């Protein structure tokens, strides 16, 4: 194991649940800073997992649980940066959006600047239809920044894009089921933790994606420990589409695809933000 024994519990009970239940006005002072001070070993392990060489190293289940727990904290913290809730029962923001930036800084997270749209780095939140149906997606705005720790992607950035209809269906790509996501307040999500009890759901493995110098790895652990094709799994083309975008883009693949064992590798594309 890379993470200390029981790290996922320390994240869940020491950070996630206090964040979920927080009602004060100084979350970083009251919750984040004390947790960071007491858990330097977890952050050291996180930085180790972010090293490029770790993309080729299979992690213990408990390590993937710890990463998943950290991702759940991040999914809470990006809620204030999302479009308004579609469910009237969804609670109002209880944290300032700045809490997300404080967390990213505390764990040593970064995000590349000055690059154009890429589904590896960006989650599509909103689409502005381009006049030219052949126009490829370009960035048009940001909802929240992403987070990489070293080469490991912890959170994609939420973005608005402008794209032609031959590349992205404006309604489908923003409302279809978002896979590998625990919670969004503006769209349906699918995650292997869903449907399990309060304790079992935390034994969910995090999907490790790595941005290396020459290639992008999607779902590295599925490649390191491959399983036979699932009877309900998608066809290869659908597979890659859902792996890259994590949602349907032109054809609605529904919310029941078995995507969890799929993996993909492609050359690293260093995109450039188009001029305004």
DSSP 173-219: HHHS-EET-S--SSS-EE-TTTTS-TTGGG------EEE-SSEEEES
Question: What is the Cα–Cα distance from 54 to 152, expressed in whole angstroms?
Answer: 9
Strand 122-129 versus strand 157-163 pairing type: parallel
pLDDT at 93: 84
Which stretches of 51-115 are DSSP H helices? 61-77, 98-106
The rounded distance, in Å, linking the Cα atoms of 276 and 274 is 6
What are the C-alpha distances in Å from 46 to residues 18, 90, 109, 151, 233? 21, 31, 10, 11, 31
The reported pLDDT for the residue numbered 145 is 97
CB 246 within 8 A of CB 226: no
Distance CA 50, CA 63 (A): 12
DSSP state of 110: B
- Spell out the domain ranges in the chain: 7-267
**pLDDT recorded at residue 226:** 82
Predicted pLDDT of residue 134: 97
pLDDT along the chain (276 residues), means of 10: 98 98 96 98 99 98 98 97 82 89 98 91 98 97 97 98 97 97 95 80 96 97 82 65 96 91 88 47
What is the distance between the alpha carbons of residues 77 and 160, in angstroms, rounded to a whole number? 19
pLDDT score, position 21: 95
Task: Give the pLDDT score at 41.
Answer: 98
Closest alpha carbon to 155 in 99, 264, 260, 72: 72
At 163 the pLDDT is: 98
User: Would you state the pLDDT for residue 234?
Assistant: 57
CB atoms within 10 A of CB 232: 8
Query: What is the reported pLDDT for 230?
Result: 61
CA distance 166 to 22: 44
Q: Report the C-alpha gap between 194 and 214 in whole angstroms.
A: 35
| 192 class by beta-carbon count within 10 Å (0-12 exposed, 13-18 middle, 19+ buried) | middle
Residue with tokens 């020491």: 14
Kindly report, residue by residue over 77-130, the tens digit of the pLDDT: 999 999 988 777 777 788 999 999 999 999 999 998 888 999 999 999 999 999
CA distance 65 to 9: 9
Per-residue b or e along 45-68, where b marks 16 or more CB atoms closer than 10 Å to that residue's CB: bbebbbeeebbeeebeebbbbbbb
Contact 206, 198 (CB under 8 A): no
Tokens, residue 182: 């625990």
């Amino acid at each position: 194991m890379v993470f200390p024994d029981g790290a996922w519990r320390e994240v869940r009970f020491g950070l996630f649940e206090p964040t979920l239940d927080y009602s004060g006005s100084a979350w970083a002072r009251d919750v984040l800073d004390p947790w960071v001070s007491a858990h330097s070993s977890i952050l050291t392990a996180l930085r180790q997992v972010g090293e490029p060489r770790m993309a080729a190293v299979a992690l213990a289940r408990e390590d993937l649980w710890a990463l998943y727990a950290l991702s759940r904290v991040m999914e809470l913290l990006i809620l204030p940066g999302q479009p308004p809730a579609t469910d009237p029962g969804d609670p109002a923001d209880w944290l300032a959006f700045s809490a997300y930036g404080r967390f990213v800084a505390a764990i040593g997270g970064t995000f590349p600047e000055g690059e154009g749209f890429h589904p590896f780095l960006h989650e599509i939140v909103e689409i502005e239809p381009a006049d030219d149906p052949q126009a490829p997606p370009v960035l048009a705005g940001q909802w929240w920044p992403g987070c990489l720790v070293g080469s490991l992607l912890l959170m994609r950035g939420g973005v608005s894009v402008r794209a032609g209809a031959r590349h992205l269906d404006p309604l489908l790509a923003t409302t279809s089921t978002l896979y590998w996501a625990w919670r969004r307040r503006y769209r349906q999500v699918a995650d292997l933790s869903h449907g399990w009890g309060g304790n079992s759901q935390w034994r969910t493995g995090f999907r490790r994606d790595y941005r290396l110098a020459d290639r992008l790895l999607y779902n590295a652990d599925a490649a390191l420990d491959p399983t036979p094709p699932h009877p309900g799994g998608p066809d290869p083309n659908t597979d890659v589409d859902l792996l890259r975008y994590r949602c349907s883009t032109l054809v609605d693949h529904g919310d029941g695809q078995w995507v969890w064992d799929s993996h993909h590798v492609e050359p690293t594309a260093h995109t450039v933000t188009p001029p305004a």
